[in-house]
Amino acid sequence: MHLSHLSGGAHLTYCTNIHAGESWDEVRQSLEAHVPHIKARVSPHSAFGLGLRLSGIAAEALSAPAVLDEFRAFLDRENLYVFTINAFPYGPFHGRRVKEDVYQPDWLTPERLSYSDRAAEILAMLLPDGMVGSVSTVPGTFKAVAAARPDAARAMADALARHVATLVSLRRRTGREIVLALEPEPCCFLETVEETIAFFCDHLHTDASAAIVADQTGTSPAAAHDALRRHLGVCYDVCHGAVEFEEPARAFAQLGEAGIRIGKLQLSSALRVPEIDANTERTLTAFNDGVYLHQVVQRRNGSLVRYVDLEPAFAALRAGKAGGEWRVHCHVPVFLEIAGGFHSTQPTLKAALAAAKSAFVAPHFEVETYTWDVLPPELRQSSRADAIAREMLWVLEELS
């Protein structure tokens, strides 16, 4: 929905990755089952925007003109529109072990490039006139993968520049402007704001990347540099930033000073354990679902220590090497200040929304609580659709 009262305006949605489904038929069925109810609760009289999650196979199916026309008819019938696509998880995302596989194929593979090109083509066909679109994507690759390959940064930058060339050509052909938004995440190649800025400055906003864009699009070097800044940006996930102990307003300012566009702001909260004690492992085990990575960042005596998942963090705790405050990458409903016996990072989310009220941050806001199915039962007392509606209404209240 359009938040016209915000500085610069913005569009709010939720990410449909909360609904299980990998094939297009499964995605379509989940949208038909849930979205009308959510819209009726949140935006009964105005058009309602969708944050569409498409797997690789769903994107391929939706590329067919007849299928796309059918989907557009559904959007028109229900007074819906699509302005952002989540093209982060390429493969299965529910009901099985995901963990570090969620980053594959990464930006070191041709599959990631072709998948992102297809997602952008689809969004250009769905995007309302005059609106900028965004596609969120993996933060390059998993940090351990990048560490094993000395040329990883340059190789990923080259692939991203080739995608920018596709977006330039797409804009010429359709008039639609699409931003690819890299999403920093704990224990990934792009983990912190500082690492993200360094990658953009050292590898993306460079003559080497501009040369690729200029060669593939026939533009001047200056126009190619402009295209890199116009079509590449960041999806800032407030949960991820909170796990890294980042302050949203400062993060937004740093990105802006570096000339990096925030294409999308994902609204979510993590778990916060203010002080580790003897009961921490037992209580946190309820969140150790075996499906998703739950990266842990510990702050102790002013220093940060990172664990790639809960099990390594538990091992350090048993060995007497852990303590202080923990932030755990587990998306919990944004309206919860207390979650499963722990605090959430809701105060960080409130700070992000307060910053967005005072100045323009991003054109797209997306609530993202994809872990609904694996949250402890006491946190799932309502239906999924009711919980999504409640999350969005909470955000609207904060932004009012």
Q: Domains, the chain, ranges and CATH?
A: 11-269+344-399 (3.20.20.150)
Cα–Cα distance measured from residue 116 to residue 301, given in angstroms and rounded to the nearest whole number:
42
Reported confidence tier of residue 380, pLDDT bands at 50, 70, 90: confident
What b/e readout covers 221-250, taking b as 16+ CB neighbours within 10 angstroms? Answer: eebbbebbebbbbbbbbbbbbbbbebbbbe
User: Nearest 10 degrees: CA dihedral of 324, 325, 330, 335?
Assistant: 160
Between 24-42 and 65-78, two packed helices, what is the crossing angle to 10 degrees? 20
Is-contact 30 281, C-beta < 8 A? no
Neighbours of 130 (CB within 10 A): 8
Predicted pLDDT of residue 105? 97
Q: What would the two tokens of residue 384 be?
A: 């999924």
Cα–Cα distance measured from residue 390 to residue 357, given in angstroms and rounded to the nearest whole number:
20
Predicted pLDDT of residue 63? 97
Predicted pLDDT of residue 174? 97
Q: Distances in Å between the alpha carbon of 375 and those of 18, 331, 366? A: 12, 9, 20
Quickly list DSSP for 176-245. Answer: --EEEEE---TTBSS-SHHHHHHHIIIIISSHHHHHHHHHHHT--HHHHHHHHHHHEEEEEEHHHHHHTT
The amino acid present at 114, given as its one-letter code, is S
Percent of the chain with pLDDT over 90: 86
270 or 341, which is more confident: 270
Q: Distances in Å between the alpha carbon of 293 and those of 102, 161, 195, 244, 318? A: 9, 29, 21, 15, 20
Task: Please name which of 375, 215, 383 lies closest in space to residue 284, comparing C-alpha atoms.
Answer: 375
* Residues contacting 56, CB < 8 A, separation 6+: 90, 91, 111, 115
Torsion region of 150: left, alpha or beta (phi above 0 gives left; psi -120 to 50 gives alpha): alpha
With a cut of 90, say whether residue 103 has pLDDT above it.
yes
Q: What would the two tokens of residue 227 be?
A: 């295209």
H-only helix segments in 238-345: 238-243, 248-257, 280-284, 310-318
pLDDT in tens, 281-340: 999 998 898 888 999 999 999 999 999 999 999 999 999 999 999 999 999 999 999 888
With a cut of 90, say whether residue 210 has pLDDT above it.
yes
Between 346-358 and 248-257, two packed helices, what is the crossing angle to 10 degrees? 50
Q: Distances in Å between the alpha carbon of 225 and those of 201, 217, 220? A: 12, 12, 9
With a cut of 90, say whether residue 6 has pLDDT above it.
no
pLDDT in tens, 230-273: 999 999 999 999 999 999 999 999 999 999 999 999 999 999 99
Long-range contacts of 275-278 (CB under 8 A, 24+ apart): 275/324, 275/325, 276/317, 276/322, 276/323, 276/324, 276/325, 276/326
Q: Distances in Å between the alpha carbon of 310 and those of 188, 204, 243, 284, 332? A: 16, 33, 13, 8, 16
Is-contact 276 322, C-beta < 8 A? yes
For range 142-165, the mean pLDDT? 97
Predicted pLDDT of residue 226? 98
Q: What would the two tokens of residue 366 be?
A: 């997306």
Three-state SS across 38-102? HHHHHCCCCCEEEEEECCHHHHHHHCCHHHHHHHHHHHHHHCEEEEEEECCCCCCCCCCCCHHHH
Neighbours of 335 (CB within 10 A): 18
User: Nearest 10 degrees: CA dihedral of 77, 33, 15, 162?
Assistant: -70
Q: Distances in Å between the alpha carbon of 188 and those of 33, 141, 146, 395? A: 34, 6, 9, 28
Reported confidence tier of residue 137, pLDDT bands at 50, 70, 90: very high
Is-contact 135 168, C-beta < 8 A? no
- Name the average pLDDT for the chain: 95
Is-contact 135 178, C-beta < 8 A? yes
